[in-house]
């Protein structure tokens, strides 16, 4: 039975055996699956918002267990287990340290996990279901995230301010730099900022530290290289990971799943929304 399978993902073919669609762009993603069984402990970089379009799911975070249809988990909170069977679940990764998500961050406060009223998000169920079986446009999926956040936060967040050109340049450099070659001093010199000012401004405008952003990009670089047919050991080196254990930790930090599960084309559909 599915409930017994949740205690050891190695006994099932994939944590999302009915398939999973992942829309992704820098520092954000939307993961959609009919069922999702995760029991590997993880502490994602982003806040994670889960909505069940069908059956409720069970989630355990920092010793607290909820059975619900909508919840919000703080960044870096220790998520132990998610059991979503026939839930048609949507998982949103949201960098709440970005200014545009200030209202959502305030709603979460110091709590590690909060149970959300499903009625606040019920109107988005048709769009979520559509995104599972079709491929939404980049603007449509990002618009869904904004609308869901607005519905939960209870107010319209401040309009997103354009990124400082130096941060745009820094992100572009990081996008093309293997993880093991990222150096703060070199990056700061290239964008004409002091290291301390770059560190401060980057975190303020992106919601991530430079190291977190670099790891996120390395994970996606690895996934794309796998899709292009590169061997796992080769893509690990190409993306700049120190070794296979480093790859495993980084993928778990983003997805809560082993790399082989994330990039398994038999189960996973990746949609680039950059």
Protein fold of 2-153? Jelly Rolls (2.60.120)
Q: Which two tokens stand for residue 194?
A: 């002091």
Name the more confident of 159 and 187. 187
Q: What's the whole-model pTM score?
A: 0.87
Positive or negative, the Cα torsion across 68, 69, 75, 79? positive
Q: Is 53 left (phi over 0), alpha (psi -120 to 50) or beta?
A: alpha
Q: Note the pLDDT tens digit of each residue in 245-255.
A: 888 888 888 77
Spatial separation of the C-alpha atoms in residues 27 and 271, rounded to whole Å: 14
Residue 8 has pLDDT above 50, yes or no: no
**202-214: average pLDDT:** 90
Percentage of residues of the chain with pLDDT beyond 70: 93
**165-187: average pLDDT:** 95
Positive or negative, the Cα torsion across 133, 138, 142, 143? negative
Sketch the domain layout of the chain as residue ranges.
2-153, 165-259
Q: What is the pLDDT of residue 158?
A: 52
Spatial separation of the C-alpha atoms in residues 190 and 180, rounded to whole Å: 18
Q: Note the pLDDT tens digit of each residue in 95-138.
A: 888 888 889 999 999 999 999 999 999 999 999 999 999 999 99
Q: Residue 82 contacts by C-beta under 8 Å, 6 or more apart in sequence? A: 36, 37, 38, 39, 50, 57, 58, 59, 60, 256
- Name the band, by pLDDT with cuts 50, 70 and 90, for residue 9: very low
Name the more confident of 150 and 40. 150
Residue 244 has pLDDT above 80, yes or no: yes
Q: What is the pLDDT of residue 4?
A: 37
Positive or negative, the Cα torsion across 173, 26, 179, 228? negative
Phi/psi at 183 (5° precision): -135, 125
Chain length of the chain: 274
Q: Note the pLDDT tens digit of each residue in 179-206.
A: 999 999 999 999 999 999 999 999 988 8
Q: What is the pLDDT of residue 11?
A: 59
Q: Note the pLDDT tens digit of each residue in 42-63.
A: 888 889 999 999 999 999 999 9
* Mean pLDDT of the residues in the chain: 89
Q: What is the pLDDT of residue 155?
A: 64
Superfamily of domain 165-259: Homeodomain-like (1.10.10.60)
Counting beta carbons within 10 angstroms of the beta carbon of residue 267, is it exposed (0 to 12), middle (13 to 18) or buried (19 or more)?
A: middle
Q: What is the pLDDT of residue 12?
A: 67
- Report the DSSP beta bridge partners of residue 59: 66, 82
Instruction: Tokens 């267990």: give the residue.
Output: 65
Residue 32 has pLDDT above 80, yes or no: yes
Residue 259 has pLDDT above 80, yes or no: yes
């Amino acid at each position: 039975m599915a409930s017994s399978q949740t205690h050891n993902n190695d006994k099932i073919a994939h944590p999302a055996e009915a398939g999973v669609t992942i829309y992704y762009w820098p520092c954000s993603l939307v993961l959609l699956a009919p069922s999702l069984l995760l029991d590997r402990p993880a502490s994602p970089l982003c806040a994670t918002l889960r909505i069940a379009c069908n059956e409720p799911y069970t989630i355990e975070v920092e010793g607290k267990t909820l059975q619900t249809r909508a919840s919000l988990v703080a960044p870096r909170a220790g998520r132990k287990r998610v059991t979503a069977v026939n839930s048609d679940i949507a998982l949103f990764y949201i960098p709440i340290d970005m200014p545009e998500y200030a209202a959502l961050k305030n709603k979460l406060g110091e709590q590690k996990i909060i149970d959300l009223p499903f009625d606040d998000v019920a109107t988005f169920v048709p769009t979520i279901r559509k995104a599972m079986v079709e491929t939404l446009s980049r603007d449509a999926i990002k618009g869904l995230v904004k609308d869901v956040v607005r519905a939960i936060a209870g107010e319209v967040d401040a309009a997103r301010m354009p990124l400082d050109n130096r941060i745009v340049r820094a992100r572009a450099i990081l996008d093309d730099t293997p993880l093991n070659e990222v150096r703060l001093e070199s990056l700061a010199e290239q964008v004409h900022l002091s290291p301390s000012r770059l560190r401060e401004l980057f975190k303020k405008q992106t919601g991530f530290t430079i190291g977190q952003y670099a790891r996120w990009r390395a994970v996606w670089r690895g996934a794309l290289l796998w899709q292009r047919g590169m061997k796992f050991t080769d893509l690990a080196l190409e993306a700049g990971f120190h070794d296979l254990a480093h790859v495993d930790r980084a993928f778990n930090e983003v997805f809560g799943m082993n790399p082989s599960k994330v990039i398994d084309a038999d189960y996973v559909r990746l949609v680039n929304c950059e």
